[in-house]
């Protein structure tokens, strides 16, 4: 199978890295194209067997599976340059561009796969939504490819925003909260930010290991750590009193942005 990647920004280059470093796809079966050629060249400097396509059209003509890894409002221009057939598969990696939108716009088979930056470490989830016209062969090919570096999970259209908030935006949301926890540790306890960061990183790696080994669930973890009459309980009460509806507000904000993006994208 020949893979084509249009847009080699954060996600296009992350996917190229993950395909090659996990052994899922050989570099000589991948063609890339980016608006600013130097960015595609940087990837080729790392993986010399990658092909740089001279245009979006040429990449489309020579690939079986084409990933569009540009921002949502650039999809329209990219799709205009592609002439695809029913024996090819087009992949959207962005939540506001649904498989129904793509099916109306192109003649190929379509899939949406929303990745996560965690896939770079061959971990985390990739969210799959298949178009009605997808063949078993492409389904199998894409699922087995993504299994090399992620846990593929099928997701219904109505759940894509919340699912992507957890899987794809989650690293940024939790990163933000963790930075806040480090900053507050420095302010209240006087510990240096560097030392607090090391402690935090090791705690998170340990927490992930507990989850990975299925030793404790979240409720079990909270129960085990919260000693009766101890400090954790006091901290949890303070958090409950101060967190208010922070996460509801966050989900509402992403849903509203998703709604506005969907309205503005015309394929
Ligand atoms: N960042 C993330 O964690 C996640 C992002 N996504 C989705 O991935 C998509 C890309 O995001 P991200 O990689 O972060 O964005 P970036 O801005 O890092 O990358 C977008 C890339 O698209 C290129 N581009 C724009 N227009 C064209 C064009 N016409 N032809 C070829 N290349 C073009 C840009 O080129 P140039 O170098 O010229 O700017 C840039 O390299 C978005 O739709 C986003 O929703 C999904 C899941 C997670
Ligand atoms: O910020 C964004 O729009 C993208 C979508 C998922 C993660 N990052």
| Cα–Cα distance for residue pair 265/34, rounded to 1 Å | 21
Position in ligand 1 atom list of the atom nearest CA 77: 29
Q: Would residue 174 count as lying in a domain?
A: yes
Assess whether 220 and 111 both reside in one domain.
no
Question: Cβ distance 170 to 143 under 8 Å?
Answer: no
8 Å CB contact between 93 and 112: yes
Q: What is the pLDDT of residue 42?
A: 97
Per the domain annotation, does 105 fall within a domain? yes
Cα–Cα distance list, 52 to 44, 66, 100 (Å): 8, 14, 30
Of 132, 83, 80, 78, nearest in space to 109 by CA:
132
Question: What is the biggest distance separating any 2 CA atoms in the chain, rounded to whole angstroms?
Answer: 67
pLDDT at site 266? 86
Residue 117 Cα: closest atom of ligand 2: 7
Ligand 2 pocket check for 169: Cβ under 6 Å: yes
Flag whether 7 is marked binding. yes
- CA of residue 187 relative to chain centroid, distance: 33
Domain annotation covers residue 214:
yes
Tell me whether residue 263 is in a domain: no
- Looking at the structure, tell me whether residues 31 and 147 fall in a common domain: yes
Domain span at residue 74 reads 3-158
Name the residue at shortest CA distance from atom 41 of ligand 1: 9
Establish if 260 belongs to a structural domain.
Answer: no
Q: Among residues 97, 131, 158, which one ends one of the domains?
A: 158
Per the domain annotation, does 98 fall within a domain? yes
Are 110 and 99 spatial neighbours (Cβ–Cβ below 8 Å)? yes
Ligand 2 in contact with 100 (CB < 6 A)?
Answer: no
> Is 147 in the same domain as 217?
no
Ligand nearest to the CA of 67: 1
Contact between residue 1 and residue 64 where contact means Cβ atoms under 8 Å apart: yes
**CATH number, position 224:** 1.10.3730.10
Considering the domain boundaries, does residue 266 fall inside one?
no
Shared domain check, 216 and 116: no
Ligand whose nearest atom lies closest to the CA of 10 = 1
DSSP letter (8 states) at residue 217:
-
Q: What is the pLDDT along the chain (267 residues), one digit of tens a residue?
A: 999 999 999 999 999 999 999 999 999 999 999 999 999 999 999 999 999 999 999 999 999 999 999 999 999 999 999 999 999 999 999 999 999 999 999 999 999 999 999 999 999 999 999 999 999 999 999 999 999 999 999 999 999 999 999 999 999 999 999 999 999 999 999 999 999 999 999 999 999 999 999 999 999 999 999 999 999 999 999 999 999 899 999 999 999 999 999 999 988
Nearest CA owner, ligand 1 atom 40 = 9
We report the CATH number of the domain holding residue 98 as 3.40.50.720
- CA–CA distance, 86 with 225 (Å, rounded to integer): 55
Q: How far is the CA of 49 from the centre of ligand 2 (A)?
A: 29
At residue 267, the pLDDT reads 86
Same domain, 48 and 89: yes
**51 and 147: one domain?**
yes
Same structural domain, 10 and 142: yes
The verdict on residue 227 lying in a domain is yes
What is d(CA 27, CA 111) in angstroms, rounded to the nearest whole number? 22
Closest residue by Cα to atom 2, ligand 2, is: 169
Within this chain, do residues 29 and 98 fall inside the same structural domain, yes or no?
yes
Which residue, of 158, 189, 216, is where some domain finishes?
158
Cα–Cα nearest to 31, from 14, 21, 43: 43
- ipTM attached to this prediction: 0.98
> For position 23, what pLDDT does the model report?
98
Residue with CA closest to ligand 1 atom 45: 94
Distance 230 CA to ligand 2 centre (A): 39
Number of domains the chain contains? 2
Tell me the best of 169, 251, 254 to mutate to test the pocket of ligand 2, counting ligand atoms within 8 Å of each CB and taking the most: 169
* One domain for residues 13 and 145: yes
| Measured CA distances, 70 to 64, 172, 182 (Å) | 19, 19, 33
């Amino acid at each position: 199978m020949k893979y084509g990647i249009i847009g080699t920004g954060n996600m296009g280059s992350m996917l190229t890295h993950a395909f090659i470093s996990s052994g899922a796809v050989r570099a000589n079966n991948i063609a890339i194209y980016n608006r600013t050629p130097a960015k595609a060249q940087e990837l080729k400097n790392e993986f010399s067997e990658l092909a740089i396509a001279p245009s979006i059209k040429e990449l489309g003509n020579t690939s079986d599976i084409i990933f569009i890894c540009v921002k949502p409002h650039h999809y329209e221009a990219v799709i205009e340059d592609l002439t695809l057939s029913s024996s090819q598969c087009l992949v959207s990696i962005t939540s506001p561009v649904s498989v129904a939108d793509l099916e109306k716009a192109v003649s190929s088979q379509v899939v949406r796969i929303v990745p996560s930056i965690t896939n770079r470490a061959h971990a985390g989830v990739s969210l799959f939504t298949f178009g009605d016209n997808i063949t078993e062969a492409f389904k199998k090919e894409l699922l087995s490819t993504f299994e090399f570096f992620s846990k593929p999970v099928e997701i219904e259209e109505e759940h894509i925003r919340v699912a992507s908030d957890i899987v794809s935006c989650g690293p940024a949301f939790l990163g933000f909260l963790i930075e806040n926890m480090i900053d507050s540790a420095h302010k209240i306890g006087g510990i240096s930010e560097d030392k607090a960061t090391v402690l935090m990183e090791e705690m998170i790696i340990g927490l992930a290991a507990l989850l990975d080994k299925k030793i404790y669930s979240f409720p079990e973890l909270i129960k085990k750590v919260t000693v009766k009459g101890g400090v954790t309980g006091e901290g949890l009460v303070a958090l409950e009193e101060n967190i208010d509806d922070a996460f509801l507000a966050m989900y509402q904000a992403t849903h509203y942005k998703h709604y506005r993006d969907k309205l503005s994208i015309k394929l």
